[in-house]
Amino acid sequence: VVSNATLQRFYQEVRHQTLRLTENLSVEDMVVQSMPEASPAKWHLAHTTWFFEEFILRERDKNYPRFDERYRYLFNSYYEAAGDRYPRPDRGLLTRPDLSTVLRYRAYVDSCMEVLIAAGMHDDISQEHEFFRDIIVTGLHHEMQHQELLLTDILHLLSFNPLFPSLYRAETPASPRAGALTMQTCGGGLVPVGAREEGFSYDCEKPCHSVFLQAYRLARRAVTNGEWLEFIDDGGYRNPLLWLADGWETCQRNNWQTPLYWRQVDGQWHQFGLDGLQALNFAAPVCHISYYEADAYARWAGKRLPTEQEWEHALANAPVEGNFLEFPYWRPQACTTDTAENGIAQAYGDVWEWTRSPYTAYPGFKPERGPLQEYNGKFMANQFVLKGGSCVTPKRQMRATYRNFFFPHQRWQFSGLRLAEDA
Amino acid sequence: VVSNATLQRFYQEVRHQTLRLTENLSVEDMVVQSMPEASPAKWHLAHTTWFFEEFILRERDKNYPRFDERYRYLFNSYYEAAGDRYPRPDRGLLTRPDLSTVLRYRAYVDSCMEVLIAAGMHDDISQEHEFFRDIIVTGLHHEMQHQELLLTDILHLLSFNPLFPSLYRAETPASPRAGALTMQTCGGGLVPVGAREEGFSYDCEKPCHSVFLQAYRLARRAVTNGEWLEFIDDGGYRNPLLWLADGWETCQRNNWQTPLYWRQVDGQWHQFGLDGLQALNFAAPVCHISYYEADAYARWAGKRLPTEQEWEHALANAPVEGNFLEFPYWRPQACTTDTAENGIAQAYGDVWEWTRSPYTAYPGFKPERGPLQEYNGKFMANQFVLKGGSCVTPKRQMRATYRNFFFPHQRWQFSGLRLAEDA
Amino acid sequence: VVSNATLQRFYQEVRHQTLRLTENLSVEDMVVQSMPEASPAKWHLAHTTWFFEEFILRERDKNYPRFDERYRYLFNSYYEAAGDRYPRPDRGLLTRPDLSTVLRYRAYVDSCMEVLIAAGMHDDISQEHEFFRDIIVTGLHHEMQHQELLLTDILHLLSFNPLFPSLYRAETPASPRAGALTMQTCGGGLVPVGAREEGFSYDCEKPCHSVFLQAYRLARRAVTNGEWLEFIDDGGYRNPLLWLADGWETCQRNNWQTPLYWRQVDGQWHQFGLDGLQALNFAAPVCHISYYEADAYARWAGKRLPTEQEWEHALANAPVEGNFLEFPYWRPQACTTDTAENGIAQAYGDVWEWTRSPYTAYPGFKPERGPLQEYNGKFMANQFVLKGGSCVTPKRQMRATYRNFFFPHQRWQFSGLRLAEDA
Amino acid sequence: VVSNATLQRFYQEVRHQTLRLTENLSVEDMVVQSMPEASPAKWHLAHTTWFFEEFILRERDKNYPRFDERYRYLFNSYYEAAGDRYPRPDRGLLTRPDLSTVLRYRAYVDSCMEVLIAAGMHDDISQEHEFFRDIIVTGLHHEMQHQELLLTDILHLLSFNPLFPSLYRAETPASPRAGALTMQTCGGGLVPVGAREEGFSYDCEKPCHSVFLQAYRLARRAVTNGEWLEFIDDGGYRNPLLWLADGWETCQRNNWQTPLYWRQVDGQWHQFGLDGLQALNFAAPVCHISYYEADAYARWAGKRLPTEQEWEHALANAPVEGNFLEFPYWRPQACTTDTAENGIAQAYGDVWEWTRSPYTAYPGFKPERGPLQEYNGKFMANQFVLKGGSCVTPKRQMRATYRNFFFPHQRWQFSGLRLAEDA
């Protein structure tokens, strides 16, 4: 059980971290919405605050005075049980409340929350107490998810700007093409998958259950930009036999020819990122690709994508280390481990890795009780699982059992791939 | 190994059956396309013939004179490896070749095929011989799939007609509401799933492999129209908390309020079918529902959909019997077995049963070699598996390992559901 | 006043002519709808019949037994006052009633109408009698409009067919490029425009009124395919400065590069028509172009399109002669008049000529009274006037005051252009 | 000929006025784009500046150092001759350059322009001098058009905000329902229409030419909100016979039931405006209606809309006075003239008045030469003319010959109507 002091520090760190991410953003950057699936940074600031107001402060005390009654409607994301919502595709039209008001909203809720957490220290360890403490922890993990989304959405927005804005200056080390890709053999059998009860995890990671795996091999590092270029040069984006039917249709309709943020300047490949337009790093993992592209690449390479169970089983005991949000680069970096050797490198951080597993319920899955029943379960159709986190994922959020999920056509996430094959 | 005589009879039976299905259709009925996903009956007649011409006659003899060179392009469905295709959404614009020409096309290819099959009797059992024999068998199973689609597509087309046309006159026995629904317990453990090598099966049903199942319970019959009415009356179509997020969005956008072909006439529920507009049979299985609706219903009922493995394991040794295409009713019928007793009834025929399993590759899946590599594998995204066949499925086509698949929003198939729950 | 005998012959001729147009169409050709704006030939047959049943037989005798009560709904086109309608974009889904039933519907209504007209011979010349007689005449002019549409829509449908079907065999005389284009000067002043009361005309052609014209010049013939080719070769389809803003947007979105039915075969230009795919006739008028293209061409040529008043004034006293529906060619023909001489040739028939006049109400315009109030007035926005008729227009329908109208982006009509300029 | 001193003052006044309009806007308000047809306020500030940089500073001196080379692309609106443009629907994605940079851009160009104008005082009156002086004047009129658009677009943006923001506090005088509407008779004959050469006017207002008008009557004031309510209460939005076909289709598709910014609060009608949500003023002119609605209302009222020539002829000699941008109310006000008397009131200011005239070229129309050839001519299709200016139109911009134009479905402009009829 987490102590109140620990919870207080956790709360402060996460809330502070969110604000820190917006340091180099202009007021204008923070209000605009670049597509229906993305949200303005200002909205992320407000919605994560709304979570605490709606699910903690208000639930615990019906007399709690909201900062503004109308925010209940404005900043609900998708919780049907929490009432009507302002339409998602129009979030970018909300020029009011302005940024400074939203910052005051955060401060107001923070002070209420800190009083609440502090007061909790003297409480009995009642069941209700535990219930709210759990939701606070969930709210902080929820906010960490939005930290990643905030940066991901800002990158998408800035990518439309012909001025190629950059949020920070990076001294990226030049890297040669990566060394040869080798495969690590993993044994199969009846293995446990999913989160045990200790520690934080989402409902969709549970229960821990047995699955039967056949022996398999997993690539020791992610696929690189250099390798992706070979796929392009070999006509990968023009050969329908490499693609899923839905993928080929999507590829044609959108005229995909490269990953999302690649640009050719004077005949040289570049990649737009949060540090602006940079020469393509051939040794870094390919990023901002859809599931369809990942799947086509794997077929072209004579391999396949791993299942989420294979990924999780192989990494079950590995330390969670990698290039995360806290590190200086918000751009995937070349793998520095010698991957000719044993072991699996680069599993955490850098890029989310598409698995071939549709996002579905584990056997015995029970949705969270109470207000968070809609958090995961209702998205269990048409999406695929990604594992391992990216260079804009908070490290604290990551674990082997974590299941991220996106639609197979989506490319604005920091998504890449790792190859697998039958043993 | 199938003998040539058996193959000849199989060929003749299937080809004849296709034509028999069009007996009560007008020339006009057979040319029109009601939506991009559906095809005209005339196109089904031509495309199934094209299959034999393209993959057998032409592959075996490069000098084979096609009936019309241009049909190669006109009647290819989705085989990228077989060259360009006439666009799918425009199939209904092909008023030429007219029906009589398409019938001559069938006759021409049939006579070539029969000569080929007959000649095969004196052949050595060469490997090439086996290869083509396998493709002929696949072609006949392919045609049986199109028999079902032909009727399904015609029903969709006629449903737009305010005259409520009917293809045959049915004396449907009146039935009271069905008896109470009971559940059959099934043991779990490490069980085999998928098709063994003997007998015909598609590549996606293979290889046979082990999966670990927890104990579960399966409903003894399908959900009925009467039970579905309770869901409607309880506000099932208006409560977002029962629905997957994508499902709710689809439900709202299309204003779903009932299954696809329900109509209210003078305050009474009716259901349009191939026998016209009939009073709703409360005891018959609900039909023409999407995955999203099936999933919402199961949640409302406090249960869930079975996985495809659960379904297959429970029915592995049951005889394949039910209300199929060959029987007099092309409309789902009430279950006549006493379902309070032991055993699982109505598993085959009547309605395809949605499972909660996304359609994915089995471990060790290898696509068919040669021209049929595109038959199944490229559809392994965004679709869900259905089991058991329907009242318009040829009986010969059905088996426990058969995996049908459709997108979760699609409703024009003869699709229903069976409930399940954890034991 | 038209005599009953004359009316009877008029009725028989028009009704017969409609059927004659379908002689070489298959049943399949007649049921399919190629786009929302086009209608199936079978629907044209039924709707023109519905007109007489709805506005004459039924209006005159409330006990008149309709052929089928449901046709009132099925075959109404756009008459809000005549009740609900089957949705226009779905007309092609109506496989039932089949063609033979629709032909019986025509026969039934024809016999009722002929009895009515014959009976009218002994009637008093009552006001009501005159009223219905006028509507019968309007119904026949309405049917002549649909004769043209039937052929126009069939051409559109067949144009999607890679088999390039043809309805008749034409021996089109080869023609060299046309002679130089010269302009005829026309005086201005206060001139009358619009239809006088004698003879048939639509409400939108009335009243005859004065307009003030400045002197102008009108081309002696239509623009030819050969001249259009120069426009193409000069980059006409790639230069936005030649185009209206809406036109350029439409051109880009639809990737227009030639008139609608041009096809390149082995490096030679061809044009698809009702007589199949033929080599492009350089001397024939360009056809199947939108207003936007006509306007861009005129700007490129340093000229402009005429106004409808200029066209009408110049042709007010010319005989109505040209290549119409009754002539052997349903394809525009080269001008055979020596256009270096005086006079304006090719004004009637061959191609409708776009004018720069939006279709609006004349000063003092009064919509027809009674059921036909919706015939013209409600279309007076967003459309442009065309003059002169085409090679698929019945000759009897044409006159100088006739105002055809279509949206500026539409190309499936037999539409071309004639140049004009200020004097 | 305008003197340099006059031009200097004109320049300063207009440029200053633009900035004044943004006084109560937040940075966020100024960057967001609410729909493709609207533009962000920041973009209006930049584009009007670009006009002077592109068409004056740069044209006059090829060595002129642009503020930022990339703005040439970013802030071009629709001038094909000025090169590529950033896509219009994405203007709201341009968070950079930020507002403060755009303000510096304005200051930079202003100082260059003022030097240029001042220098001009000592110039010879060369032809080139006159040419640029004319374009400067056009640029200022262009900027006045954007002043109106800026406020119009901001109102549209704020209308999506459930917080109902207001830009200023207005003490609107309460007004009773307006007095009875009376009509003023106007004689016809051959009358001049269009702008003479003296004074500023756009190319589309020229040349002055003769048209023949029949006698007509014009309403003495605009239609009021109170009168519009009678139309609503009489089922005006539900009766297709009142509507143009395209209008009815648009009305149904968008579910129009009131003018654009009407809201019902506690059973009372309100109207959102730049001063927030206010109780509906029954005596004020109805505003934010489409051409289709105006036309349907006129038909319902047994009248019609005037032509642009009728409007212009009737107001040719009236003083340009009314409720314009410079007055304290940015919301249409009740007519204070006694309209039972002689004369036409409220013609200028308050609301633009839809005419039934499509926007087309006058006889003898010649587009502006040079860079402004695209200013008006390319929009001469599918739009209707509006006359008289609105409460957000700069007074200096208005005159009897001014032709505003919008598409018939557009409602976000300050558009209303005045009735007319034949005499």
Q: How far is C95 from chain B (nearest CA, A)?
A: 5
- In 3D space, the residue among D151, D411, D390 whose CA is nearest the CA of residue D275 turns out to be D151
CB–CB contact B357 A361 (8 Å): no
Nearest C-alpha in D relative to C291: D381
| Among the ranges given (A281-290, B86-95, C158-167, D171-180), the one the predictor scored with the smallest mean pLDDT | D171-180
How many Cα atoms are found within 13 Å in the side-chain-facing hemisphere of D6? 5
CB–CB contact A93 D160 (8 Å): yes
Nearest C-alpha in A relative to D28: A95
Dump pLDDT digits (tens) for A309-325. Answer: 999 999 999 999 999 99
Give mean pLDDT, residues B212-217: 97
| Among the ranges given (A250-254, B215-219, C176-180), the one the predictor scored with the smallest mean pLDDT | C176-180
With tokens 């319902």, the residue in question is D300
3 state SS of A189: strand
Give mean pLDDT, residues D266-288: 96
Beta carbons within 8 Å of B377's beta carbon, 6+ residues apart: B203, B204, B361, B365, B367
- DSSP labels for C26-83? -TTTTT---STTS--HHHHHHHHHHHHIIIIIHHH-TT---S-TTHHHHS--S-GGG-
Q: Measure the CA–CA gap between C72 and C69, rounded to whole angstroms.
A: 6
Pinpoint the alpha helices (H) of B192-264: 225-233, 245-254
ipTM of this model? 0.95
Give all strands of the β-sheet with A420-422 in edge-to-edge order: A183-186, A216-219, A420-422
- In 3D space, the residue among D273, D59, D303 whose CA is nearest the CA of residue D156 turns out to be D273
3 state SS of D352: strand
Note the pLDDT of residue D174.
Answer: 66
Q: Tell me D152's DSSP state.
A: H
Position with higher pLDDT, B82 vs D292: D292
- In 3D space, the residue among B284, B306, B300, B280 whose CA is nearest the CA of residue B385 turns out to be B306
User: Which chain A residues contact residue D31 at CB under 8 A?
Assistant: 28, 31-32
Q: How far is D47 from chain C (nearest CA, A)?
A: 19
**Average pLDDT score, chain A:** 94
Note the pLDDT of residue B1.
Answer: 63
For an interface test with A, give the residue of B206, B241, B382, B383 to mutate (most A CBs within 10 A). Answer: B382
Dump pLDDT digits (tens) for C180-198. Answer: 899 999 999 999 999 998 8
Q: Measure the CA–CA gap between C319 and C303, rounded to whole angstroms.
A: 27
CB–CB contact D358 C360 (8 Å): yes
Give mean pLDDT, residues A341-347: 86
Note the pLDDT of residue D369.
Answer: 86
- In 3D space, the residue among D403, D405, D1 whose CA is nearest the CA of residue D203 turns out to be D403
Interface of A with B (CB under 8 A): 78, 80-81, 190, 209-214, 240-241, 243-248, 291-292, 295, 304, 356-358, 360-361, 363-364, 373-374, 378-382, 408, 422
Note the pLDDT of residue D360.
Answer: 98
Note the pLDDT of residue C204.
Answer: 97
**Average pLDDT score, chain D:** 94
Q: What predicted TM-score, i.e. pTM, was given to this entire model?
A: 0.95
Q: How far is B336 from chain C (nearest CA, A)?
A: 36
Q: Measure the CA–CA gap between D273 and D350, rounded to whole angstroms.
A: 13
Dump pLDDT digits (tens) for B347-397. Answer: 999 999 999 999 999 999 999 988 789 999 999 999 999 999 999 999 999
Amino acid present at C67: F
Helices A99-120 and A4-21: crossing angle in degrees, nearest 10, is: 170
With tokens 């109780």, the residue in question is D279
For an interface test with B, give the residue of C28, C88, C157 to mutate (most B CBs within 10 A). Answer: C28
The model's confidence at residue C172, banded by pLDDT at 50, 70 and 90, is low
Q: Tell me the two tokens of residue A399.
A: 């674990």
Amino acid present at C313: H
Q: How far is A153 from chain D (nearest CA, A)?
A: 12
Q: Measure the CA–CA gap between B283 and B278, rounded to whole angstroms.
A: 14
- DSSP labels for D233-286? HTTGGG-GGGS-HHHHHHHHHHT--S-TTEEEETTEEEEEETTEEEE--TTSBP
CB–CB contact D95 A28 (8 Å): yes
Q: Measure the CA–CA gap between D284 and D280, rounded to whole angstroms.
A: 8
The phi and psi torsions of B407 (rounded to 5 degrees) equal -70, 150
Note the pLDDT of residue C340.
Answer: 59
| Among the ranges given (A78-82, A142-146, C339-343, D243-247), the one the predictor scored with the smallest mean pLDDT | C339-343
Q: How far is A364 from chain B (nearest CA, A)?
A: 7
Amino acid present at C20: R
| Among the ranges given (B196-200, B222-226, C357-361, D277-281), the one the predictor scored with the smallest mean pLDDT | B196-200
Note the pLDDT of residue C121.
Answer: 53
What stretch of H or E contains B130?
Answer: helix B127-158
- In 3D space, the residue among D371, D378, D368 whose CA is nearest the CA of residue D54 turns out to be D371
Residue A369, pLDDT > 90, answer no
User: Which chain C residues contact residue D382 at CB under 8 A?
Assistant: 246, 382, 408
Exposed/middle/buried for residue A319 (C-beta within 10 Å: 0-12, 13-18, 19+): exposed
Q: What does chain C come to in residues? A: 423
Q: Measure the CA–CA gap between B308 and B291, rounded to whole angstroms.
A: 14
- In 3D space, the residue among A202, A224, A228, A196 whose CA is nearest the CA of residue A336 turns out to be A224
For an interface test with C, give the residue of D84, D378, D383 to mutate (most C CBs within 10 A). Answer: D378
The model's confidence at residue C128, banded by pLDDT at 50, 70 and 90, is confident
Q: Examine chains D and B and say if they touch (3+ CB pairs below 8 A).
A: no
- A-to-B residue pairs, Cβ atoms closer than 8 angstroms: 81
Residue B339, pLDDT > 70, answer no
Position with higher pLDDT, C128 vs C357: C357
Q: Measure the CA–CA gap between C352 and A121, rounded to whole angstroms.
A: 87
C29-40 core/surface letters (b: 16 or more CB in 10 A; e: else): bbbbbbeebbbb
Give mean pLDDT, residues D342-349: 91
User: Which chain B residues contact residue C277 at CB under 8 A?
Assistant: none
CB–CB contact A212 B211 (8 Å): yes
Give mean pLDDT, residues C88-94: 97
Q: Measure the CA–CA gap between C54 and C57, rounded to whole angstroms.
A: 6
Residue C1, pLDDT > 80, answer no
With tokens 């109404």, the residue in question is C76
Beta carbons within 8 Å of D25's beta carbon, 6+ residues apart: D41, D154, D167
Nearest C-alpha in C relative to B42: C28
Which residue among D243, D291, D381 sits closest to C244, beta carbon to beta carbon? D381
3 state SS of C346: coil
| Among the ranges given (B27-36, C7-16, D368-377), the one the predictor scored with the smallest mean pLDDT | D368-377
With tokens 């001729």, the residue in question is C13
The model's confidence at residue D340, banded by pLDDT at 50, 70 and 90, is low
Note the pLDDT of residue D211.
Answer: 97
Dump pLDDT digits (tens) for D153-179. Answer: 999 999 999 999 999 987 766 677 788
| Among the ranges given (A98-107, A173-182, C271-280), the one the predictor scored with the smallest mean pLDDT | A173-182
CB–CB contact B28 C98 (8 Å): yes
Strands D415-416 and D352-358 come out as parallel
Amino acid present at D348: Y
Q: Tell me the two tokens of residue D116.
A: 């240029």
Interface of C with B (CB under 8 A): 26-29, 31-32, 34, 42, 70, 73-74, 86, 90, 92-99, 157-158, 160-163, 165
Q: What does chain D come to in residues? A: 423
Give mean pLDDT, residues B86-94: 96
Residue D295, pLDDT > 70, answer yes
Note the pLDDT of residue B22.
Answer: 97
CB–CB contact B161 C32 (8 Å): no
CB–CB contact D95 A163 (8 Å): no
What's CA D186's distance to the chain center, in Å? 26
